[in-house]
Structure 1
C-alpha cells in the first residue's frame, strides 16, 4: 500500500479499504486460466470468463498491485476511440470489418458503464462525451475531416462553431470543435479496485506482489512459484517488453499528467465541463483532460522522452520539464488557472505497437493476449476481456470475428534505430504544432507524422 501511494491522483483518492493488498503466490499451483497482469484487461477477462463459466479456476498474477500499470494512471477517458483510424482498418481488413470494429468500440463504452452500475462500482462514471477543440485553421480542418470520415463508419460526432463550443467548455482561442457523445469520464483506479472485489467474490484468485518471469504454453514462471494452466493470458501492455520473447512487441512510451487542487464553483463557471465532458484538441502531440469527481482539473499529454531499450523505471513516471510544459499548456487553454496550485504529477508507459493497431488473440498453444491500446485502453480493455472470454470458452460470436482478433503487428526495430525513430517522431510533432500555431497553415510534416503513426486518427 505504501508503494502505490503517490502513484497517481487516482490511487491517492483511494481509502485503505480500497487498497487492501492480496498476498503473493505461495509456491507452485494450478489453474484453468492464469492471467498475467491485473489491470483492466486482466480483470475484465476474469470477470467475463467467470460470467460464462463460474466453475473455472481463474488466477491473476500481478507484479505490484492491481491497477499498478496504465489502468491506475490513465486520463480517465472511457472512450470509443482507437489509435488506428476507420480508414486504416478498412484498408487492412475491409469495409464491413471496420464498421463492425467501430460499432463494437461504441458499445464497449456503454458496457463499461452498465457493468459498473450493475456491480455497484462507484467509479464516477459520467457519460459526458468529449470535445475536440480546434485553436487554429489546420486543427479545424483536421477536426472537420475526422468528423466526416467517422460518419461513414457510424460514428456520430458533430461540428460546433466557437459559440456552440462554449456550452461544453470555455477554452481560450477556440475556432470550433467536434463533439462526440461516445466517451465517459471516470476514476480509473476505483474501477480497477472495484473489479478486484467483484472477481474475487466470483471465485477468482489474485496474487499481488508476484512477478511473472517467463510465459510459456501451459505455464507461467514467477518469482514465487510456477503456475500450470490450460490457458495463459498475457495482459501486460507496456510491461510486455520486460518478458522474454516480447521485448519488441510494443514500445513503452510515457504519457504524463498533472492535476490541480479542487477548484471553486466560480472557476468552474469560467471553464465549463459542467456535464463531465472530457476534452482534447487537434494538435499532433496529444493533450487530454477531465473534470474529476472531486472538482479538480486533471490534464495530461505526450511529450516525455522514449527511453533507450524500452526501459521502464519509476524515475521516468515524472519529468519536471514535461510537467511544467503541461502546466503552461493548461493555463494557455484556461487563463483563469494561472495561479492555481498543481497538487499531483504522475505518469507511466503506454504500449504502442509498431503499426498502432491494437490486437487480441489466442494461439493454438493456449497462450492468449491483448493490448497495444496506445493509451485508449479503458473501453478497449473491456472489449478485449469479453473477446478473450469468448475465445477461451470456444464461443463463436460476433466479437471473435472482429478484425483485431489474431492481428499481428510487426515488431519494432532493434535499438538504437527504435529510439531514433520514436524520438524523431516526437520532435517532428512538436515542430509541426509550433509551425501551425504560428503560421495558420498545415505543417509540411503532417503527412510524415500520419505515416509514422500508422494511419492513426491522432487519438
Structure 2
C-alpha cells in the first residue's frame, strides 16, 4: 500500500513514486533495519555517514513512510513525551543539559536538511500552547509551564504570553494567554521521509519495500521472500509492530487523526493571525495540534482512540464523524473558519510504551536494538534517538550515549515492561477518555470543575498502577 494521496494531504503534492524492489534472496549485511520511517532511515543515515564501509539494508513492510512517519501532524518538538520519567530524579544541572540537547536537536534537523538539499517545508515558528477557549485552561497551561521549567527548560525557551502577546501571534476565540515554546518547528513529513530515503540510497543503503519482517532469530531477519543475516538488527517499527518479535507487548498503537483545510485567503489569515506560522495547541485533554502550512492551509489533529487488542491503523482514511469532530474543534478555536472546506482527513498509529517514556535500547549480546515509544512526538525524537543508536552501535564515546533514555547491554524485555492483557488496558483507556470528555463538557458550559478533578486524578492513578 502506498501513502494515500487522496486522504493524506502531505502526499498530495508529490508525484507517484516507483516502488522499490522487495527482498527475494538471502543476504549478509552489517546492519539490518526493520522499518523505513524516520527512525530507521535516520539510523541508516548516521551509521553510513559515520562508517561508510558498513553494508546496511532496510526492510519495509509496505512503502517508505507508510507508518507514523507519513501520517503525523508535522510537529518537530524540542522535547519528548515522558521526559520527567527519564530525568525527574536528576540534579537540575543535568536536567537542563538534557533539555538543551532536546532543544538543539530541532535546529540540527533543520541544518541537516539544508545541507542535504531536502526541501521538507521545514519552518521554525515555535509553538503556542494556548488557553484559548475556557478560563479553566489558564491554570492548566500555567501548571504545564511550571512543569517545563521544573524539568529544566529555560525561561527563554518556554515563557508565558499574556492575552495581548498571544494575540500578536494568533487570534483565538478566547485568547486568555498561553505558553510560547521557541524550540518547535514544522515540516511536511512525507517530503521529509521520502527525501531521507533518497538520501540514504545515494549513500549506498539498500531499501526493500513490500518486505514484511516476520521473524528474528540468531542474527537473522526473515521475510516471506528472503532473509537478511546481520550481527546488528534494528527494530524501528514504533506503533506498527503488529505482533512482530513480541515488541507489540511493550509498545502499543494509539490512534491520532488529522485534517487539512483548503488554502485560506489572505483576508481569513488577517482574522486568525499566525503570520509567523507557529504550531498551536490548546489545553484540551484531547491533545490537539495544528499549524499553518507552507501553502496557507491549516493542518489540525487530535488524539483518537485505543483499539481493542492494540491494533494499528493500517488504512489512511478516517470517518466523516472524525473529520467533523476535528473541524468543529478547529472552528471553536478560530470562529472565522466557519464554513471552511476540509480537503483531507487521515490517521495513523503512534507508539506508546508501557513505561510511558521513549527509549533507545541496544542489546549487545543478541545484537538487537529497539527504538521508539515516542507517544506522538517522534518527528524530532526519531532523529535524536537514531543519532544516539548510531553512536551506540559504533561504540562512540558521545554525550548522546550517556543520555538517560539510552540503554545498552540489556534486552527490551528487561528494560520495557509489558502491557497488561486485554480487556484491562482497553477498559482503562475508555475510562480516561470518558473522564476527559466530561471535563471538556463542564468547561464548555462554564461550569467549575473542582469536584471532577479528584475523580480524574483517581482514574489516572488507577491507569498508572497498570503501567508502572
TM over 0.5: yes
State how far apart, in whole Å, the 2-side matches of 1:452 and 1:20 are.
Answer: 49
Deviations 1:45-91 (A, max 9, x none): 011101110111111110111111111111010011321143x4334
Shift of the alpha carbon at 1:312? 2.5
1:124 counterpart residue number: 121
Q: Aligned to 1:266, what secondary structure does the other structure show? A: helix
1:418 counterpart residue number: 425
Q: Aligned to 1:117, what secondary structure does the other structure show? A: helix
1:439 counterpart residue number: 447
TM superposition score normalised by structure 2: 0.92
State how far apart, in whole Å, the 2-side matches of 1:435 and 1:448 are.
Answer: 18
1:70 counterpart residue number: 68
Specify which of 80, 83, 87 is matched with residue 81 of structure 2. 83
Specify which of 36, 39, 54 is matched with residue 38 of structure 1. 36
2:360 counterpart residue number: 360
Matched-pair contact (CA < 8 Å) for 2:443–2:449: yes
Greater mean alpha carbon deviation, residues 220-229 or residues 398-407: 398-407
Matched-pair contact (CA < 8 Å) for 2:313–2:348: no
1:139 counterpart residue number: 137
Q: Aligned to 1:184, what secondary structure does the other structure show? A: strand
Provide closer, same or farther for how the CA distance between residues 452 and 83 of structure 1 changes in structure 2, counting only shifts above 3 A.
farther
Shift of the alpha carbon at 1:128? 0.1
Unaligned runs of 5+ in 2: none
TM superposition score normalised by structure 1: 0.93
2:6 counterpart residue number: 6
Provide closer, same or farther for how the CA distance between residues 111 and 170 of structure 1 changes in structure 2, counting only shifts above 3 A.
same
1:274 counterpart residue number: 275
Greater mean alpha carbon deviation, residues 7-16 or residues 28-37: 7-16
2:324 counterpart residue number: 324
Deviations 1:292-337 (A, max 9, x none): 11111110001x3321111234357513322211111111111111
State how far apart, in whole Å, the 2-side matches of 1:233 and 1:359 are.
Answer: 13
Deviations 1:117-170 (A, max 9, x none): 110111111110000111333321121122223224033211111111111111
Provide closer, same or farther for how the CA distance between residues 6 and 187 of structure 1 changes in structure 2, counting only shifts above 3 A.
same
1:109 counterpart residue number: 106
Greater mean alpha carbon deviation, residues 290-299 or residues 438-447: 438-447
- 1:87-102 to 2 correspondences below 5 Å: 88-91=85-88, 95=92, 97-102=94-99
Matched-pair contact (CA < 8 Å) for 2:232–2:368: yes
State how far apart, in whole Å, the 2-side matches of 1:98 and 1:451 are.
Answer: 25
1:259 counterpart residue number: 260
Shift of the alpha carbon at 1:384? 0.8
Aligned residues: CA RMSD: 2.0
Provide closer, same or farther for how the CA distance between residues 141 and 254 of structure 1 changes in structure 2, counting only shifts above 3 A.
same
Matched residue pairs, number?
Answer: 451
